[in-house]
Structures are given as C-alpha cells and as structure tokens.
Structure 1
C-alpha cells in the first residue's frame, strides 16, 4: 500500500490499570448512566379489558402518564392497530416549550418490529430447545416486510452472534437450523438441580442443612448478564423492539429456602435475600434503557423427581412428571419470568402445542399505544419510574416500568460494547495490531507492548497548531478461551500529524498494557470522536 506512515506513542493510562483475572463466566457489565441527546422517551402501552380483549380507539386524554409518581404531559400520541400506525392528536404541553418540539416518533403507515432472539443454551435442554426453534422456523412467514430479526446464543461461557438484523427469511431459516445443531448445557443444569433438591430432601429428614447451590445461581447470573450484553452489544434498531428470551428457567435464591436456617439464632438478613429486582436488574434495566419488551419463552419444564427412564415403574407417573408447575423450582421460574416480563411491559410465554411463541409475540406487538414525553435531562445517571394509568374504569394497562437519564459518554460505551462483543456492521474497518515481547511486571502479570496500525482516513483530522490531530476513543477487553471477558477499558487516543492524511496513509499508535500472564485474546475498538469512523482489531496473547 502506498502512502505515508506516522508513528505516535500513546500514554500509559490504560496500560497502568491491570485487567482483572478472566473468569469462565461473563464479568458484570460496566454501569451506564447520565444523559442522552434524544429528547423524547417513548412508552409502548397495551390496554385490555378484564377478559384480555384489546381496547382500541383511546385518545391521549384517556391516559395518565406518571414519572416518579408525578403526572407529566403526553407530548406525542400514536395508536398502532394491527401493525399500522394511526396518528392521533397529542396532548398539549403544560407550559410552552423553549425549543421546537421533537418530531413524532412514528409516521402513519406500517410499523415494523425488531425481534432479538436470545437462546440460553446454558439452561435449555437440547430436545426442548430444538422443538421451540423448529416452531419458530415454521412461523417465520409472520415476519413482515417492515420486520427484522437477530439471533444470539449463549452457551454458558460466551455469546455468539448467529445472525445480525435481517428480514431475509432464508437467512433466518438457515440460522435457526444451525442453532439446533449447537451443544446445550441444559442436562448439566438439570443434574445440578436434582442434586440440590436431593440435598433439600435429606435436610428435611435429618438435622442438617445443605450448602447453598451457589454454582447454579451463579450460572443464572451469568445468563442474565449475557442477555443484557446481547441487547447492549448488538446495534440498536429503530422502532418497536422485542426480546424473545428462550430459556428453561432462571430462579433467584430465596431467604426462606432450606438453605437459610430460620431458627439459627437470627432472622434472615437482607444479604440472604435474592429478590428478582436484585438478581435480574441487569436485564430489566438494560431492556428499559434501550426500549426492549421482554417475552420469556419457556418449554415444558422437566422436574427433578421424574423417573421416566425407570423400567420398573408399574403405575402411571404423577402429574409433575409431565411438566406441570408443581415443584418449588418451577414456581420460582414462573415468578421470575413473570417479573422480568412485567418490568418491561411484556408477558411470559409458556409452551403450547396450539400456538408458537413467535405467533403470540407477533400478536402482542401489533396493537398498542405509543406515548411520548419530553423529560428534563439532567445527565445524572438516575433511573426514573414510569407508570401509565387509564382514566376509564375496568381496564388493565401494561407498559415498561422506567427509563434512564443517559449521557453521550454512555452512548459511546454502548457503541464500544457493540464493537468489542460482536464487531458487526458494514462500516466497521479492520485495524492491524502488532505486539512486542512481554515483560514481567509482577508475579502473575506482564506488560505487553502493542501497536495499532490505523488507516488514517478512519479518523477525522482536526486542524491544530503545528499540523493536524486525530481524536478517537480506544476501548479494549480480554477474552479467555471459554469466551469469558473482562470489563472493557477506555482511553483517549490522540495522534498528532504534521500534515493532513491522504488516501493510503497509515498511523501507528504505540502503547503498553498490563495483563494477567495467561492465554487470552485481546480485542480493541476505535471510535472517531469527531466523525462516524470505527475500527476493530483482535490478537491472541500466549505467555
């Protein structure tokens, strides 16, 4: 390649902070907070009577929108009826706006839905998962011209993007067929659960309390964080968004389970409580943050007491062996998925031979009301509660429960998560990366020289004294061989050039990173601070 090459040495800001030990499970996601440049918050609202029949024809004046318990004006109002937006008059603001109002979030006409399918292979039994995926494939004709779908799988250690957003039914069919051939960890989770329930039975017969099943609930937490990462990592589509959460059950530990000794000289403390709001906040908070409605999709739940392989059975099996909700675990799963769905305005979808999950989600997302309001953005990172009420009696309302006050920095963090996790997008440029000889920097860590070779036209040159400067945000994370990752680190990347770069020019940016001395893959993301350029690079590190 012809062109000039500039060499710049970066500061050691990122290299000075050691990456934490990479675990086989995803690390907790970095916190997002502050403010966003979008002025309107949109709330999808489903209204039904006591029989569950949808109510059509309501106006903005029929609703009360409360934020943190205080009523706020509804600035924009649209009814979506059978996938078609019917523009309706919005309520006037309580006071004149200082700036022109933002455009209506929906134009009259067809309204599409973006379905993100998350396949939790860490808890799903392969046979049940495959049956659900086959039903989804058979129902793909429900994906309309305005709709799209993306598919992500989590095997207990790493996320795989099986398909980015697409409305191509042939691509989606191939993706779902390939997903059915993937390995599942559900049988291992079932064995763990049987052992846990056997310990509980033993504890009821003897004066003995088993140790809490920390490993099982840690796996639940890993899957929860992976689902949140999938929403944050994939590019955000416009319009209505639905997360189809395909799993065989997540349960939060209870303070009143057999693992807590209620008569051991103390009452259960808050530390013992594993409430859904604590355990599942990563997924519900991320869904409300990005505007996803969650629809948990559960297959028939095999129970630990089943003995369908026992040839000595002389009589019919009890009802719980056929997947009826009867055990404490199944009751916990039901409570969990109901909570997760309710917090985001969705509903849990249990296995049915009559109607597939996609058919029910498609039906639920075709008719609703879209309410928009303009909050006062303070860039403080706070979460705010949302409650929608109908002024008419006897009607039930379902909607998301809150929103977050985001910043531009948080938006950049979302884009960095997308680049680091999936690296998808036609506008993502490949960046070359070179590594030098590592130098020991402690008992378990090393310093690794790294050089990023950037196409100079990836970044927008800014005139400065003495030449030009390229300004970017550099993010980096580390993946182990199981796919577990660290929180991503960020730093400002500055490249000072004596002249404006031209086509074919390269810029070499050198820095050092402090790493754990173990085999891992380093992933880098570069985002232009001035323009829209973004690049990605990967390199394997072997001690």
Structure 2
C-alpha cells in the first residue's frame, strides 16, 4: 500500500531564488521591471519546510457504496479556507477483479492489479467494571466479542490484517497484526476475559509483516504510558503509524469525555485535541461502535460521533446486531482515493494543520483525516 507518510525538505528562501535564477537565467527575469512581491523570505521567515501531504479519502453514496471513476477535478482540498492544488490522485481497492470492469478501468483498476492490504484494529473498552451498575453492558460486550469472531471467521478478505487490543486501566495487546483467523478469534476470547499477557520482549512480533508490538512500549512501560484511554489511543496511534496505509480502528465503547454542569458532553480540554491530532497524523480512522443497548440515549453519544468525524471514521449506534457495523465499516473501506499535494510552512515552526476534503458533488459522502502535524511537532 502506498505510504501515508510525508516527504519533507527545507530550503532557504535565498537559496530558492538563486536556484531559480540559475535554472532560467538571470537575464530571463527583468527584476527592475517587476512589481513588488512578497518574498518567500518575508513570508516564511527565511526558510521553508516543504511537505508532501498524502490523504486517504473514502467517497461513498448515501447507501454506503464506494464511488469510483473520480479524478482530481472532482475533489476540493483546503488549508485555512484556501484551496490547494492536488498533484496526484490514485484509486486503490482491496478487491480482486475476475473480469474487466468499465467503471473501475476508468479509475485505473484492472484485473491484473494486486488487491491492496487493509488494516483493522479491534479495540474493546472493557466494561466489566461497569457491570454492577449496568449488567446489560457486560452481556453486550460478550455479544460484541461473539459477533467479532463471526466477522473474522466469515468476512475477512485475503488482504486484511487485524490486531486485537483492549483497555481497562491500561492498554492490553491480545494479538498483533495477523491474517490468521484462529489466532484472532482466540485473541478476542482473551480480550473478553481481560487477560493480560503483556508486551514483553519475548512477545514482540518477529519477521516481516505489519506490527504494533515492535513500536509499542515494552513491559511495565506500556502500563505507565497508558493510564487513561486517551493515552492508550495516542500510544496505539503512534505505534500503528509505522504501518503504511489507513488503519481502521473499530472501537467498542460506551464513550468517554468530560460532562458539564448541564450533564452534556464536552471534549476533555487536556486530552482530546492531542489524541485527535495523533490519530490523524498517523492515519488512524476511528469507528466507535456503541455498546449501549439500542434505543438507549446517553451523554457520550456526542463524544463518539465527535471522535469519528474528526478522524474520518463513522459512529455506529442503534443496530440489532454487531455484525451490521462490522460489515458496513469493512464495505465502506473497500476502495479509497490517495491524493497528494504540497504544503509549505515556516521551517522554524511546528504545529497541527487542519485540512478539509470535499467533492464538488454534494451528494457524495467524504471521509478523510482532518489534519496533520508538521515541523518538530511530529
């Protein structure tokens, strides 16, 4: 899969101007006759960080079907409200075509293409501590585990990689990325029981293939670095950032966050933004799957929807079977567009750049991460 990472280089404004003059000739640009312009040096404080930004963009219709055949002219990408020039656009699919398809051919996909790998993280927020107050939560969690195993057994595609983790008072890794269905189903069972085998050096995945454990803190450091679920999401995002491509985090949860004096959800001022930024910068889209029973309204519905929208995922609620969100999340990510553009920031600055992606057709539903870190902030 094409890497989501960004290529970055720095060039001083003076060097940029000199290189341009050498390339085109000093005599080709009559500087004395030019209108005064804002120089790169004035605009960026002497040097520029040039970044290639890669965005995975899902485009679906109202029924959730993947839209194919779009080109650069169908998309609008904005930074700070200003459109940027899209330099390249490629469509990728995890499906193996048995025969030519005119629609996919127009998007550059042929039967000879190798299906692209997909990455899923099954993340269970353990509800056993809440079982005394809400006994149905535990039964819902166990049902989610059963349906997750069914999904693994019958729905995974050949290019799908899945990892299984959970959280109670720390992050627990039950299985690293693998395509082994038996290992994954056993890992879900361990998650349902709250077993903790730890991320000790002896358990770190060896050999080729994508891995979380190689990049995660080891031993007791994993406990020390994941004291809150926000910490766990940030640590998991950074570890999965070593895996190239979009990661789809299927988060079985009741939600989390702050509550104001009126009993309404509000983002945690300390943890929410760095968590969202870390997820976006490492190309992790969150798909919260509500563990609350259908028809049960609760405070943290807004929290789950907020996190999904901010990371390019989707919030699932009011369903009769956990297979429904699992299937719909998988279907909606069966094909995506990878677009690239060049961004420029002052070389001595760092921060988080918000990005907005849309299509010129308002009927299409677009999912994409909403920003990236630049400079030393990475």
Q: TM-score range by the shorter chain?
A: 0.5 to 0.7
What 5-or-longer segments of structure 1 have no aligned partner? 1-33, 91-106, 185-219, 259-272, 302-322, 411-543
Q: Rate the CA distance shift 1:131–1:166 in 2: closer, same or farther, 3 A.
A: same
- Distance in 2, matches of 1:244 and 1:52, equals 17
How far did residue 383 of structure 1 move? 0.6
Q: 1:239 aligns with which of 245, 248, 262?
A: 245
How far did residue 291 of structure 1 move? 0.5
**Higher helix fraction (1 or 2):** 2
Q: Rate the CA distance shift 1:280–1:108 in 2: closer, same or farther, 3 A.
A: farther
What 5-or-longer segments of structure 2 have no aligned partner? 1-5, 10-49, 98-103, 131-136, 197-225
In structure 1, the residue matched to 2:312 is 345
Query: Are 1:47 and 1:396, in contact at CA under 8 Å, matched by a contact in 2?
Result: yes
Query: Are 2:266 and 2:303, in contact at CA under 8 Å, matched by a contact in 1?
Result: no
How far did residue 225 of structure 1 move? 2.1
- Distance in 1, matches of 2:282 and 2:356, equals 17
How far did residue 234 of structure 1 move? 4.9
In structure 2, the residue matched to 1:159 is 171
Query: Are 1:69 and 1:385, in contact at CA under 8 Å, matched by a contact in 2?
Result: no
Query: Are 1:35 and 1:381, in contact at CA under 8 Å, matched by a contact in 2?
Result: no
How far did residue 361 of structure 1 move? 1.6
- Distance in 1, matches of 2:281 and 2:322, equals 34
In structure 2, the residue matched to 1:283 is 275
Query: Are 1:77 and 1:87, in contact at CA under 8 Å, matched by a contact in 2?
Result: no
In structure 1, the residue matched to 2:149 is 137
Q: 2:337 aligns with which of 369, 388, 394?
A: 369
Q: Rate the CA distance shift 1:61–1:116 in 2: closer, same or farther, 3 A.
A: same
Query: Are 1:80 and 1:370, in contact at CA under 8 Å, matched by a contact in 2?
Result: yes
In structure 2, the residue matched to 1:325 is 296
- Distance in 2, matches of 1:365 and 1:148, equals 13
How far did residue 342 of structure 1 move? 0.3
In structure 2, the residue matched to 1:76 is 88
Q: Rate the CA distance shift 1:42–1:367 in 2: closer, same or farther, 3 A.
A: same
In structure 2, the residue matched to 1:380 is 349
In structure 2, the residue matched to 1:403 is 372
Q: TM-score, normalised by structure 1?
A: 0.47
Q: How many residues align?
A: 285
For residues 417-436 of structure 1, what are the structure 2 equivalents within 5 Å? none
RMSD: 3.4
In structure 2, the residue matched to 1:358 is 326
Q: Rate the CA distance shift 1:256–1:403 in 2: closer, same or farther, 3 A.
A: same
Query: Are 2:257 and 2:266, in contact at CA under 8 Å, matched by a contact in 1?
Result: no
How far did residue 233 of structure 1 move? 3.6
How far did residue 395 of structure 1 move? 3.2
Q: Rate the CA distance shift 1:40–1:230 in 2: closer, same or farther, 3 A.
A: same
SS in 2 for 1:337: helix
- Distance in 1, matches of 2:63 and 2:328, equals 17
SS in 2 for 1:139: helix
1:300 equivalent to 2:306? Answer: no
Q: 1:41 aligns with which of 53, 62, 67?
A: 53
Query: Larger radius of gyration, structure 1 or 2?
Result: 1
How far did residue 68 of structure 1 move? 2.1
Q: Deviations over 1:335-361 (max 9, x none)?
A: 111110000111012243273433222
- Distance in 2, matches of 1:375 and 1:381, equals 13
SS in 2 for 1:144: coil
How far did residue 290 of structure 1 move? 0.1
Q: Rate the CA distance shift 1:48–1:359 in 2: closer, same or farther, 3 A.
A: closer
- Distance in 2, matches of 1:168 and 1:183, equals 20
Q: 1:146 aligns with which of 139, 159, 166?
A: 159
Query: Are 2:7 and 2:52, in contact at CA under 8 Å, matched by a contact in 1?
Result: no
Query: Are 2:93 and 2:116, in contact at CA under 8 Å, matched by a contact in 1?
Result: no
In structure 1, the residue matched to 2:303 is 336
SS in 1 for 2:238: helix
How far did residue 293 of structure 1 move? 0.8
Q: Deviations over 1:421-444 (max 9, x none)?
A: xxxxxxxxxxxxxxxxxxxxxxxx
SS in 2 for 1:325: coil
Q: Deviations over 1:444-496 (max 9, x none)?
A: xxxxxxxxxxxxxxxxxxxxxxxxxxxxxxxxxxxxxxxxxxxxxxxxxxxxx
- Distance in 2, matches of 1:39 and 1:368, equals 22
How far did residue 84 of structure 1 move? 6.2
Q: TM-score, normalised by structure 2?
A: 0.66
